[in-house]
Structure 1
Amino acid sequence: MIVQRRAVPAVLAVSALLLTAGCSAGDGGAPDTGRTSAGTAPARSASPSPAEPTPPAKGTVKVVRTVTEGLDTPWGLAPVPDGDLLVSSRDEGTITRIDADSGRRTELGEVAGVEPNGEGGLLGIALSPDYAADHMIYAYLTSASDNRVVRMLYDEKKPAGEQLGAPDTVFKGIPKGVIHNGGRIAFGPDRMLYVGTGETGDRGLAQDKDSLAGKILRLTPEGEPAPGNPFDSPVYSYGHRNVQGLAWDDKQRLFASEFGQDTWDELNAIKPGGNYGWPEAEGKGDDAAYQDPVAQWHTDDASPSGVAFARGSVWMAGLKGRRLWRIPLRGTQASAAPQDFLEGRYGRLRTVVAAGGDKLWLTTSNTDGRGTPKQGDDRILELEVS
């Protein structure tokens, strides 16, 4: 079985298409009421409980402000308890703290061992579920040999640039490629670490349950297969092409975004042991062996990366689509056709993070080699949504 992992000590020291990207002339103004794309279709899924509320079919998005700008290849985004933001740079291999009020930037340091190449580099970041006590930052990175998850002590008392401890490898052996490295990590409501991986362009790996590629993995914070996993391995679901978004709704159900190839991008409701079809299926199908998506999009309209849940909907950032999608939910069904917002206004959109209530953080991704950077790119935006 191709699984390599190393548990770290329990006690740790604590002290490819180019697309011209649009750019807004300014922030704020009247909320964007969006539109529904005729090329986008909700997919059938399990029926929700009759007691579950249904969000309005139509929502709005207001860009409140630009929090900061001038970022280089921002990828992962993680709010810290005081409301500030940590952002990773894919190509620079650094983590930077953003003052959420002033936008002032403080570089924590460079993560050792990052080897940027193509879509690989320093990707997703997440705070330990015990961050208040252990001050640990988890990161998904591309090394010289593989993709892996590491964790580092964040010591705010040290000088800027020296605040990250040496990375401890929590989990390794995830295949890497120039493309399709996945990279999103998130701690779930169960305090387990979920990891989205890509199939690196080698399609057959997605259906191989003994491979870590093209999967969603579920791990303990120490990097062991989480209790209750369906295959007695790190694998939680399989048959994925390139998972780059993970989010839970208010009922603790997991949703994930996925890049399609030429036809359909997907938002999926994730079931333990579920087979999501790639490369045998793309989008909705008639084969009961594969899980149908909650919603699907033509690839020019989405190429999805990060997802977040707020106000009864999943919000999904689109790279090639250069827009933000709202997918209203009732249970694990799309209760109405998805709406798109901000089309072309800020270019490629990478990561969206819920900030409580009606607030989202959103990052652009125009310096990633596939966009056309404008003055101010890349940036973090504060959104108000309904």
Structure 2
Amino acid sequence: MRAILRPTPAAREPRRSRSARPVALAAALALAVTSACGNGAPSDEGTGPGENDRTGSPPGEPSAVASDLEVPWGMDFLPDGSALVTERDSGRVLRVTPEGDTREVGAVTDAEARGEGGLLGLAVPRDAGERPYVYVYYTTGSDNRITRMRYDPDDGLGDEEVLVDGIPSASFHNGGRLAFGPDGMLYATTGDAGEGQRAQNPDSLGGKILRMTPEGEPADGNPGGDLVHSQGHRNVQGLAWDDQDRLFASEFGQDTWDEINLVEPGNNYGWPEVEGTGGGGDYTDPLLTWTPEEASPSGAAIAGGSLWVAALRGQRLWEVPITGDGGDPLGEPREHYATEFGRLRTVDAVPDGEGLWLTTSNRDGRGQPEENDDRILTVPLQE
């Protein structure tokens, strides 16, 4: 029987409960709850600005680095401080400098934009030289796949090499985030593509976090000897590691709870049997939960001692302090810029760690675009 927690008056106060699975050492935090519809219009309800004030200085005022983009989705920085950015609907890959110079360096012609699908994640290896491989995740007419291309500063992107294909696809729940971990391995998030049982099926690549070598082979230490690092995910779109090499992932819930999970190899995060906490010994509880109207969390990054999460339906940037406590690693969330910039998709820490780049997603079919949307914003992190 499916065990999904439903909002109750008691859940309106922060709560903490330990996962029954010892490896999780997780704390669950439920914020203010209202009735929610997972695919509905953004709500103005939820915690209001100023209710979770920082103990230190807040992040500074965002300013636009680039504008008039078509649903910027994936982003990663090059050694020179510029970033490569994917556009979900156009299939273009752009190079954006800190000064705002923007130019197309290539396109993924096989990417098919339909619903939430299209050209999604992008990652550059951490030790990238001047001509690195660039890794992308995208939707075709039949699947999601991961490929790589050599990038040349003068000539742009070269020919594609397919690393992984056959990842389930649909017009929604495609996952799509790519990131290189501190172990040098490539991590990829996949969605359940609308069929929840894929997340529990060990023979499906759907509803998983994958871990692979830069050549697309299963990484050493993967629990089953295949590509799967963890399972039981509905639709993860954010990955970030702290300075202890702990992996945090942001995950879309259905109607009740969005999640931040501490991802450990071999763990099962419960979908579709569990949404939020309460799965018991077979499943790992999230560290933190939000209602979908407060969050619908997409990209994640760590900088300045906090986990930063971009919220789509919630239209705000969440800051979650990292405590350093192994048993309770996350503090109380603090919100910023609620409804100021609309839907927020991707957040990444700039190479010097003194700021963030943040993308809007108001042209994705669910937002209300304003003049110059979509944009990449730079956010200074003040002392």
Interval containing the TM-score (normalised by the shorter chain): 0.7 to 0.9
Q: Does 1:346 align with 2:341?
A: yes
Shifted more, 62-71 versus 92-101: the winner is 62-71
In the alignment, residue 255 of structure 2 is paired with which amino acid? D
Matches within 5 A, 1:150-169: 150-158=147-155, 163-169=156-162
Large movers: runs of 4+ above 3 Å: 37-45, 56-59
1:84 counterpart residue number = 82
What does residue 315 of structure 1 align with?
A: 308
Residues 74, 365 of structure 1: 8 Å contact kept: yes
Query: Which residue pairs with 1:13 in the alignment?
Result: none
Asked if 1:325 is matched to 2:322, the reply is no
Name whichever of 123-132 and 262-271 sits farther off. Answer: 123-132
SS in 2 for 1:309: strand
Secondary structure of the corresponding residue to residue 62 of structure 1? coil
1:135-172 residue CA offsets vs partner (Å, 9 max, x unmatched): 211000111221011001112223xxxx2212110111
- Check the 8 A contact 2:26/2:285 in 1, yes or no: no
CA deviations 1:283-342 (Å, max 9, x no partner) are 111512111111100010000000001122110000000001111122453543211111
Q: What is the aligned partner in structure 2 of residue 143 from structure 1?
A: 140
Residue 336 (structure 1) aligned with residue 314 (structure 2): no
Match of 1:17 in 2: none
Equivalent residue runs for 1:268-283 within 5 Å? 268-283=261-276
Q: For 1:156 and 1:108, how far apart are their aligned partners in 2?
A: 9
Q: Give the TM-score of the pair, scaled to structure 2.
A: 0.84
State how far apart, in whole Å, the 1-side matches of 2:218 and 2:154 are. Answer: 34
Distance across 1 between alignment mates of 2:357 and 2:372: 17
1:43, 1:76 → 2: CA distance?
34
Task: Give deviations 1:162-190, integer Å, cap 9, x for gaps.
Answer: x2212110111111011000000001001
Unaligned runs of 5+ in 2: 1-10, 19-23, 28-53
RMSD: 1.9
Task: Using the TM superposition, name which of 217-226 and 325-334 deviates more.
Answer: 325-334
Mapping for residues 209-228 of structure 1, pairs under 5 Å = 209-228=202-221
The C-alpha deviation readout for 1:109-146, integer Å capped at 9, x for no partner, is 21131111111110000113442064211000111221
**Deviation at residue 63 of structure 1 after TM alignment:** 2.2
State the partner residue of 1:26: none
Distance across 2 between alignment mates of 1:60 and 1:212? 40
Equivalent residue number for residue 376 of structure 2: 380
The answer (yes or no) to whether the contact 1:87–1:98 under 8 Å persists in 2 is yes
Question: Which one is further off, 228-237 or 277-286?
Answer: 277-286
Runs of 5+ in structure 1 lacking a partner?
A: 1-36, 49-55
- Give 2:118's aligned amino acid: G
Equivalent residues, number: 338
% of aligned pairs identical? 50
- Where does 1:173-212 land on structure 2 (aligned, <5 Å)? 173-212=166-205
Q: Structure 2 matches for 1:1-386, cutoff 5 A?
A: 44=18, 46=25, 60-101=58-99, 103-132=100-129, 134-158=131-155, 163-285=156-278, 287-330=280-323, 331=325, 333-355=328-350, 356-385=352-381
